[in-house]
Structure 1
Amino acid sequence: MFEKGNRGNTLHGILLIALFSFAAFYISEIPFVRNLSFSPLIVGIILGMLYANSLRNRLPETWVPGIKFCTKQILRAGIVLYGFRLTLTQVVAVGLPAILIDTLIVAGTIGLGVWLGRALKMDKDTSLMTATGSAICGAAAVLGAEPVVKCEGHKTAIAVSTVVIFGTISMFLYPIMYRAGLLDALGNIGTAIYTGSTLHEVAHVAGAGNAMDPTDALGIAGTATITKMIRVMMLAPVLVIMSFALAKRKSAETGSTSGKSKITIPWFAFGFIGIICLNSFLQYILGVESVKEIPLNGAIEYIDTFMLTMAMTALGTDTSIEKFKQAGAKPFLLAGLLYVWLVGGGYLLTKWLVPALM
């Protein structure tokens, strides 16, 4: 990829994606876009898709390795650095109810997604990526699963699209439900855990939480975000389990009698956990209350968001309308069914378990 003679072309591809990513950061700060809680990642994939359906054919093929570099190496580094946003203290702050409900939501959503995907006769990779995005942390989870599942770029983009659509709906729906009194049975803590354990993106949780409790006087906004962060932490063990499960599936599909198949160990997932532990240690020795008070964390978070935006943009450049047509309506139907489970099933789980565990 960076061999002598091809290095310049590869860097051209990376620079192209970087320029799109700078534009995504600028656009995401426009008041209208910011009010929709569209992060630079989401804007980046939209820009990439617009490019894919307009000027993509004019891109020199020699630049493609640079774009692939963004969807692989930069993506994995971004997932590792994502750990700087989290600490183990956040887990302790919310306690057992959030951990248990998050675990049930993640396991239930992925399991239900795989089963529904079979029932709908969907492509296995697309259904798994869609379920993973709905289950854990939206676009970041889809990006994290991509190196493990090793699916085509347009399938990743389709999974991200479903997360964006239903996550955005939730961001507006949950505050409406709260103001209408539909969440009164959960109480303030239950509402926070329900929001954090069922909404797709961290941005969606922050938006909905702030809409329900702008000053965090009731503890809804803060607890919802922490519950969501616990769910994000589950990305690493899910990727490891997924790696073994996929290896077993491929072994069965190829008819291997030895029962052995190459297992893709997501080492970046261990890096993600390692960074969380490091961040927790830094928080402890520095004696700060918030992860944002740890020196350089703000700069690292900004760099990490830019790296993830580059990965999303690069995936978008490989996603044309024709590929969406080939995928059909099934991925969005699957995401819709999983959304019903998150809203309805998550409510019932929270209503039953939180009072019993508090």
Structure 2
Amino acid sequence: MQAKTKFLLTEDWTVVVLGFLIIILSLSGLIVPVPALKWVNVTELIDKILSLANLLKFVAQFLLIFVVAMLGALAMGRPIKKLLVVVPVVYILTIIALIISGSASMRSLNLEGVIFSLGIGLAISNFFRLPKWFVANLSTELFVKIGLVLLGTSVIFSDILKAGSLGLIQALLVVLSVWYFAFWLCKKLKVDQELTMMISSAVSICGVSAAIATSGAIKGDPKKLSYVISMVLITAIPMMIFMPYLAQYFNLSQAVTGAWLGGSIDTTGAVVASGSLVGEEALKISTIVKFSQNVLLGLAAFAISVYWTYTQKPDGQAVVEKPTLRVIWERFPKFVIGFVAASLLFSFALSQEAITGVKDSLKNLQGLWFALAFTSIGLETKFSELFDKHSKTPFYAFLIAQLFNIVITLMIAYMLFK
């Protein structure tokens, strides 16, 4: 038996291998076509989204997802028989969610696609009794971490400089101050450690992506992650609508307003929409500031990983002991290495022409893996577990931290961009 299992990979190393397999295939010319998802009316839905040419793109996309999922199961020594049913079902539900989110009415709300995939999963799991074997074979962690490795391909170091020095300075000040305040507040309110880390990152860095990366770095509970994502998306909508009017009421310049919006609103789509309401200059600066925060995600994920592996006690251990370097390495989430390696590859080793050729396809696949993960989270989560009696305190902590974020970001934006 030992001879059969000694070549098996852990989940983290598996996602690094699979993530780079996707990247290498893309760079070698195997570009997965990006299906159209945006539509305005029923006619366009039928003629464009459901056309034979677009459906074939979905099929090509599914084949890649299916093969990668099977390879992952084999690499980790998991049975694949039931995955032959689970993976296609999760993919179909996810595509339905993404098509719904692609409608003009849904896009006008600037909600990210993952909220729809999570919603469909939750609706099914709470109104229908799913077989235990189906729920047990959902590959949530695999999907999330492959998406995170691919996310590294969009974090280009040279773009940090292009974002502008003021945008980067603001991003650093906001991320550090807001993250520490949120962390301190959650500790004071006795929020559990996993939620504390996810809330702190989501409020201070870049919302959904930061929460996902942090959850992966600390091996967090997917149900807690879905709760944090829900809070991020719920609060982004009123902020997107009302903050431009507050800026107008206080007679803030477009530059200050843009920096304020970009530094405090947690989702990129909401930042763009809010900046557009103010003006061209506000839109430009808000995008620069938000991008500056996004590119800090890799550094933050690495720092959080090191902190978490160093401070957490193993199961069953009564006290926290300072672990050796070997123990830190064993606990360290290896997908972070894949994330950083992908970022370095696309930052320094590849030509701009090569990056341009694969950028859209890899970005689409990255978003798809995240959406698949959230469909899976929904399918394994009950509303009673997502919003139980213990959920009020983390929600209050999130709201207070978000209010602090709004105030401190406005002060920093005013000092730097007035």
For normalisation by structure 1, the TM-score amounts to 0.85
How far the C-alpha of 1:281 sits from its partner, in A, is: 4.8
| AA at the equivalent of 1:272 | F
Distance of aligned partners of 1:229 and 1:265 in 2 relative to their CA distance in 1, 3 Å threshold:
farther
How far the C-alpha of 1:9 sits from its partner, in A, is: 0.5
Aligned to 1:275: 342
How far the C-alpha of 1:159 sits from its partner, in A, is: 0.8
1:1-358 alignment, distance < 5 Å: 1-2=73-74, 6-55=79-128, 58-67=129-138, 69=139, 71-178=140-247, 180-182=248-250, 184=252, 187-213=253-279, 216=280, 218=281, 220-251=282-313, 254-257=318-321, 259-260=323-324, 262=328, 264-281=331-348, 285-286=352-353, 294-323=356-385, 324-354=387-417
**3-state SS of 1:296 partner:** helix
CA–CA separation in structure 1 for the residues paired with 2:251 and 2:89: 46
CA–CA separation in structure 2 for the residues paired with 1:258 and 1:175: 48
Q: Deviations along 1:187-211, whole A, 9 cap, x unmatched?
A: 3333222222211011111221222
Distance of aligned partners of 1:33 and 1:257 in 2 relative to their CA distance in 1, 3 Å threshold:
closer
CA–CA separation in structure 1 for the residues paired with 2:209 and 2:134: 25
How far the C-alpha of 1:212 sits from its partner, in A, is: 2.0
| AA at the equivalent of 2:336 | A
CA–CA separation in structure 2 for the residues paired with 1:102 and 1:63: 43
More relative contact order, 1 or 2 (CA 8 Å, 6+ apart): 1
Look at both structures and tell me which one has the larger radius of gyration over its CA atoms: 2
Q: Structure 2 unaligned segments of length 5 or more: list them.
A: 1-72
CA–CA separation in structure 2 for the residues paired with 1:258 and 1:282: 37
Q: Deviations along 1:63-122, whole A, 9 cap, x unmatched?
A: 23431x2x2222112122223444334322232221122112222222112211122122
| AA at the equivalent of 1:122 | V
How far the C-alpha of 1:257 sits from its partner, in A, is: 4.5
Q: Deviations along 1:118-146, whole A, 9 cap, x unmatched?
A: 22122221122122111112112111111
Q: Sequence identity, in percent?
A: 18
Contact 1:113 1:334 in 2 (8 A): yes
CA–CA separation in structure 2 for the residues paired with 1:332 and 1:48: 22
Distance of aligned partners of 1:312 and 1:257 in 2 relative to their CA distance in 1, 3 Å threshold:
closer
Q: Deviations along 1:256-312, whole A, 9 cap, x unmatched?
A: 45544545334333433443444445886449xxx8xx1232222222211111112
**3-state SS of 2:81 partner:** helix
Q: Deviations along 1:162-191, whole A, 9 cap, x unmatched?
A: 11111122111222223x24251xx33332
Distance of aligned partners of 1:13 and 1:198 in 2 relative to their CA distance in 1, 3 Å threshold:
same
How far the C-alpha of 1:4 sits from its partner, in A, is: 8.6
CA–CA separation in structure 2 for the residues paired with 1:175 and 1:165: 18
